[in-house]
Amino acid sequence: MDIAFETTSPGLIIEFQGGEPLVNWPVVQHIIEYALQKNALAGKQLSFALVTNLSLMDDEKLDYLVDRRVQMCTSLDGPADIHDQVRHFSGGASHELTVGWMARINAAYRALGLDPHQYRVEALPTVTRLSLRRATELIDHFAAVGCNAVFLRALDPLGFAATTRRKLGYTSDEFLAFYDEALDRVVSLNREGRDFVERNAAMIFAKVLGHHEPNFLDLRSPCGAGIGQLAYNYDGRVFTCDEGRMVDRADDDCFALGDVGQASYRDLVTHKTVGAMVLASTLDGVPHCATCVYKPWCGVCPVHNYVEQGSIHGRMADSSWCRRYMGLFDLLMTRLQRADDFERTLFERWARVREQTHFVHDGDESLSAS
C-alpha cells in the first residue's frame, strides 16, 4: 500500500483478485483499513473492488464489504449446467451458491437506498465452447438472476485457460458468431422494456459516440501495463499487469518488475520492461494497426502477443486478438449504420458515463471511516 499510494494519479483503485481473495480474509481487511487511513492524508479518489467466486462469503464478510463500500464482482458462466461444469465446488453446486449470494448483495444495495439499475453485483461470464450455441439462453439467464449487464469475454490463452484451451476453446470467428447472437438478444430485451447493457458494446460506443475514454486497459494506446496498473503477487513480487502475473504462473517471469521489499514506486514504473510494453502497444508504431480505421479506439495486449506469437511485438495480421476486436468493431459499426431510431437511441444511452460515486472514498470520508 505504501508503494501504491506513491502514484501521482488523483485516483486509485485497489482490486483484490486470486485465486480467491477471501481465502486470506484478514489480509483483505488489513489492506482496506490501512488504505483508508493512508487516504486520510493522501486525499485521493480511492475505491476498492473484490473479484470473488463467493464460495467463502458469509454474513459477517458481506456486512463488512458493504459497509466499506467495496464493489463486488463474481463469475457466472451461464445456466447451472454450464457454470457447474466449468467451476467445480467441493461439496456443493457452485451455481446455486453464486446466484444466492448475488441476490443477497443486491438486496444489501437496495437496503441502502441505492439505484438498483446502477448498483448491482457485477457478474462476468467467461465464454467457453459450452456456451457457443446457447447465446440467447445465456443472456436470458443473466436477466433472470437480476443482472442488468453482461460483459461477454472471450477465452484468452493465459493462466489456467492455456491448459484448458483444447477442451473449452474456439476460434475468433466462432466467438464473433456467438457475440452477434447474444447482442441480438440484448437489444430485444431492451425492446421489451428491460434496461440491459452489453459491456463490450458500451465501451466501444462510449469511444465512438460519446467521445469518452472508459479507460478499459486492454483498449488503450499504449495499454495500461505498468502505467495504468500494477499487479502485486501474494509473495510481494510486482508485475506489469495481471496478465503478466498469469504468465509467471507458468514459470516465466519476464513481466516481473521487482519486489515490494526492495523496489520503490519509481523503480517499478520506470523499469525497462514497462518501457518495452509502452512501445509494443502504441498503435502508431504497430504495423497493421497504424493504418487501421479503428486505431483511435483500439488497443493491443503485448502479453497476449507474447503467449500466442512469442514476442510482445505482435504480428497483428495473424493475431487472434486483432481478429476478435476488428470483428467486434466491424459488427458494431455495421449495427450502428443499420440501426433504427430505437437502436440508435439505445446505443447512445450506452455511450453515456454512469459514475458509481457510492464506491469512491475521498480523504475526509477515509478519515471518518478509520
For range 213-224, the mean pLDDT: 91
> 3-class SS at 361?
strand
CB 208 within 8 A of CB 201: no
C-alpha pair distances (Å), 8 with each of 12, 43, 217, 225: 10, 12, 18, 16
DSSP secondary structure letter of residue 56: T
Residues 175-186 have pLDDT tens digits of 999 999 999 999
Do residues 64 and 29 lie in contact, with contact meaning Cβ atoms separated by under 8 Å? Answer: yes
Question: 80: part of which helix (H) or strand (E)?
Answer: helix 80-86
For residue 283, the model assigns a pLDDT of 96
User: Any idea what the Cα angle at residue 301 is, between residues 282 and 202, rounded to 5°?
Assistant: 95
Residue 87: is its pLDDT beyond 70? Answer: yes
Mean pLDDT (whole number) for 158-168 = 61
Mean pLDDT of the chain: 92
Q: What is the pLDDT of residues 98-146, one digit of tens each?
A: 999 999 999 999 999 999 888 999 999 989 999 999 999 999 999 999 9
Decide if pLDDT at 368 tops 90: no
Write the CA distances from 153 to 33, 124, 201, 269, 276, integer angstroms: 32, 8, 12, 28, 26
pLDDT for position 150: 96
pLDDT tens-digit readout, 276-293: 999 999 999 999 999 999
DSSP 293: T
Burial (CB count <10 Å: 0-12, 13-18, 19+), residue 364: exposed
Q: How large a percentage of the chain has pLDDT more than 70?
A: 95
The position carrying cell 513480487 is 237
- Angle, in degrees to the nearest 10, between helices 199-208 and 341-350: 90
**Sign for the pseudo-dihedral over CA of 158, 164, 168, 172:** positive
CA–CA dist 353, 348 (Å, integer):
11
Does residue 369 have a pLDDT over 80? Answer: no
The three cell numbers of residue 66 are: 458493504
Residue 159 pLDDT class (50, 70, 90 cuts): low
- How far is it between the farthest Cα atoms of the chain? 58
Share of the chain above pLDDT 90, in %: 83
User: Of 126, 7, 3, 29, which Cα lies nearest the Cα of 369?
Assistant: 29
Backbone phi, psi, residue 46, to 5°: -105, 135
pLDDT of residue 268: 97
370: pLDDT confidence band, cut at 50, 70 and 90?
very low
Mean pLDDT of 44-70: 96
What letter represents residue 25's amino acid?
A: W
**The pLDDT of residue 274 is above 60:** yes
Whether pLDDT at 364 is above 90: no
DSSP 47: E
Q: What is the pLDDT of residue 212?
A: 87
**Angle subtended at Cα 135 by Cα 133 and Cα 138, rounded to the nearest 5 degrees:** 120
Residue 4 pLDDT > 70: yes
Nearest to 197 by CA among 182, 215, 208, 210: 182
In angstroms, the CA 37 to CA 368 distance is: 9
Residue the block writes with cell 470520508: 365
Q: Write the CB contacts of 298 (distance below 8 Å, at least 6 apart in sequence).
A: 219, 221, 283, 289, 292, 325, 329
Q: Which residues, including other chains, have CB under 8 Å from residue 123's CB and lie 6 or more apart?
A: 73, 74, 75, 76, 98, 102, 142, 145, 147, 150
pLDDT above 70 for 366: no
Radius of gyration of the chain (CA): 20
With a cut of 90, say whether residue 93 has pLDDT above it: no
